Each structure stands twice: as structure tokens, then as C-alpha cells.
Amino acid sequence: MKKAYTMVLGLAVTVLILIGCSGGGGSPVAPSTEVIRPTAHNPSLNMLMGFYEIELDGQSGEATIIPLRGPQFQVNVVQYLQPPDGNPANLGVSINAGGTDVMAGLFDIDISITHPFPGTNIRGFDVRGIVLGAKGTQLSEFDFEAQYPKPTELRLLNADGYTRWWNDVEFPTPGLFGYTEPILGSGDPKATVNGYKYFADGLEAGDPMMVDVATRGTFSTEDELGDPNTLTRQFIIQFPMQGGLPQVKFRYAICASFAPADAGSTVPAPVEDYTIDANCPEAYQLSVSLVPSNTAWYTSTGGGGDLRFHFEIWDWQTLENPGGVETEIDLVRMESTTLWDGLIDPIASGVPVGSSGTTSSAWVVEIPNVTPDAQIQEIF
């Protein structure tokens, strides 16, 4: 009897989505190595707020946080997230014992970020906490410079998405916002495509990434009581094993988008006082899920059938672009090392269906005669 074929769903599916930035720009997974400055066409900034090395102790339940890079750019955010100018408590890490299996290298942790600028208009948008492992050696079929972790390497199992920003391989030298690699940096090879969790008002630690469009994915400077705003997200990380023991050390980058509030705004300025340029120009969310009519299957002796899934992309710029997501994205390609050969364009090959909101477009995509070699598969 055929066994129901299952996949890791939603954004836990590793999906390489090579999406060009809004308005026909370059792909955000292949960022420029030149200095980026705000312009009339691109007045927003994608900023590295902080770069850290985190080592976890499963026995004591403690985390050691070492600030690494020190970027210096227009608002000098990072110096307020770490000593000597900032409060070390602005970044917090705690281990959730119930979801952690130390000897298997599986850690369930909460990471908290406290906004360093309460009482100002330096509101963050599309803040992402990016997990960077020591290696990521799986090469993309589409782009050999796109490398992501294999199953035996460090993986963020509940990622909200994946990004090519701020990896060590493509951002190693001074220039991009003027940061430098510190003495503490180990120089280990890293994946160029890494998983992240999205920090935004209204998202609790374990919530799925369902962003209220009205908030525009913002990270407010203060909470409802007027205190510095602290947001927490849950990270489930599978660490690599070596000699039967987990290697529980990883790098952590904090990325944010920003643009100034309207002139004359109150402090702190509400979200509506920031133009859409404050949000990231690239797509901010992706969802992949199986549909009921999916017929793909797998047993210990083989697998087959047709894979049908719902594919949805969100982009903030569609709030001001009547052409929708399709006109904001240059390129989408999907690949799998086992399920099919070649590359899939889910937009060109999919059937448009109703989307879940004003900032997204959706399609149902069918891939016939897939070739799964395990019950749980990956798409990249």
C-alpha cells in the first residue's frame, strides 16, 4: 500500500527563490559588494545592526555572546547593541529545555532583541535575525555561488525565510557600510544562503510569520508602556555532530531596513509617517504548502506521483504598485537534488489563485512524476 508522502511545509521548506528586487533591481540573494547608499530610487537602507558569535552550554543552559563585527554607517546602530556604548542585555539568548536534545545537537532557543533607540524615530522595518553556520557546502544548480547547508551541517529548522545578506563569504572586507572583520572572527567558511527569523510587532516567540499588513513589519522603538521595545523569536537549530558530540556554536547577524520619518513627525513617529521605502525592496515573505489533491508518495521501495503545492510571495512595494507582485519580481527558480531534474519557474508554470492579502500573489504549481528518495524531502 502506498504511504502518504509528506514534506516539511511552509517556510521550513528550504526554497531558493532568486527574486529580483522591486522595480527590476538585482537579486537580493546576490547583493552588490559595492557601498550602498540611499538614492532617490532606493532611499531605504539594508543595515547590519550587529554580528555575534553565540556558544550554547546545554548543561548550564547559558549562552555566551561575543560581538564580532562593528559596522559604522549613518545611524551607528550596532554600537548600542553591545559594549561599550550599549547595554549587553539588548541581545538575549535563552535555552528552552523542553524542546532541546543536547546529545542529538537539537537546540530550541529564544533570541530577544531590545530596540536600542527608545524615544526616537529610528524605527526598524523587516528586522531579521540570521543564523550563519560554520559551513554550507551544498551548491545550487542555478547559481554555484549560492551555497546552503546540507542535512549534516548547521540548519535553522523553523526558518521564516532565507537570505544572502551578510554572509561571511560575500561580505568579508571593509567597504559595505564600513564594517571590518575583527580579530575574534574565525574565518570559517559559511553558507551564502542562510535561514532567518523575522522580528516584528505582533509576532510572539513561537508564532508563524503572519505579518499584519497595517504594521508593515515594523520593530517599534517603544512598547505600549513607553519602555524600550523587546521582541523575541524562537529558533530551532540542528547543530552538526562531530565525534558523537554536537558543535553548538554559531554566528548571528541582525539585519534591518530603515528610512527617515516624514519631516515634522512626532516622536516616536507612527508607522504611517514612514514611506514604503523604509521597508526592504526585496520580497519579504514566501509560503509553500501542499494542496489536498497532491498525489506524491513514498515507501521504502520507492516513490512517485505528482507534486502539487500552493506558492505565495509577499512584497511591500505592491501597496503602491497596481501591477502586483509579478511586476516587482525579476526571477524565481526552484530546484531539488532528488524530487526532479532541472529548474522550476513557479510563476510561469503555475496557475494563479487568490492570495491571502493585498501584498501577495499566489499560484498552484504542479510538478509531475517526482522522484522522492525519502519521506521528508527538500526543495531549494
Residue 10 zone, left/alpha/beta (φ > 0; ψ -120 to 50; rest) = left
Task: For residues 71 and 24, give the distance between their C-alpha atoms in angstroms, rounded to a whole number.
Answer: 28
Q: Give the model's confidence band at 9: pLDDT under 50 very low, under 70 low, under 90 confident, else very high.
A: very low
The pLDDT-based confidence of 349 (bands split at 50, 70, 90) is very high
**Which element (helix H / strand E) includes 19?**
none
Q: How confident is the model at residue 181 (pLDDT cuts 50, 70, 90)?
A: very low
Q: Closest Cα to residue 129, out of 183, 200, 25?
A: 200
Euclidean distance between CA atoms 70 and 74, whole angstroms = 13
Task: Dump pLDDT digits (tens) for 229-244.
Answer: 999 999 999 988 888 8
Q: Which three cell numbers stand for residue 191?
A: 553558507
- In this prediction, residue 69 carries a pLDDT of 54
Burial class for 44, CB neighbours closer than 10 Å (0-12, 13-18, 19+): buried
DSSP state of 140: P
What's the pLDDT at 172? 63
Q: pTM (2 decimals)? A: 0.81
45 has pLDDT over 70? no
SS3 assignment, position 171: coil
Q: What is the mean pLDDT of residues 178-202?
A: 67
Cis before residue 268, ω within 30 degrees of 0?
yes
Return the higher-pLDDT residue of 18 and 167: 167
Smallest CA-to-CA distance from 36 within 255, 314, 316 is with 255
The 10s digit of each residue's pLDDT in 351-373 is: 999 998 899 999 999 999 988 87
Lowest mean pLDDT among 127-131, 230-234, 290-294: 290-294
- The pLDDT value recorded for residue 197 is 95
Q: What is the DSSP string of 321-349?
A: -TT-GGGT-S---B--SSS-SS-B-HHHH
Span 237-273, pLDDT tens digits: 998 888 888 888 888 888 888 888 999 999 999 999 9
- Euclidean distance between CA atoms 21 and 60, whole angstroms: 44
Burial of 275 (0-12, 13-18, 19+ CB in 10 A): middle
Q: How far apart are CA 317 and CA 359, in angstroms?
A: 8
Region for residue 166 given its phi and psi (left: phi exceeds 0; alpha: psi -120 to 50; beta: otherwise): left
CA distances from 339 to 306, 336, 346, 377 (A): 10, 6, 15, 8
Q: Give the Å distances, CA to CA, from 62 to 192, 234, 337.
A: 28, 16, 37
Strand order of the sheet with strand 351-353?
285-290, 307-314, 360-367, 351-353
Q: Other CB atoms closer than 10 Å to residue 236's CB: what's the count?
A: 19
Q: Please name the residue that has the C-alpha cell 509553500.
A: 288
Spell 305-336 as b/e; 16+ CB within 10 A means b: bebbbbbbbbbbbbeebeebbebbbeebbbbb
The DSSP line for 203-225 is --TT--S---GGGTTEE-SB-TT
Percent of the chain with pLDDT over 90: 32
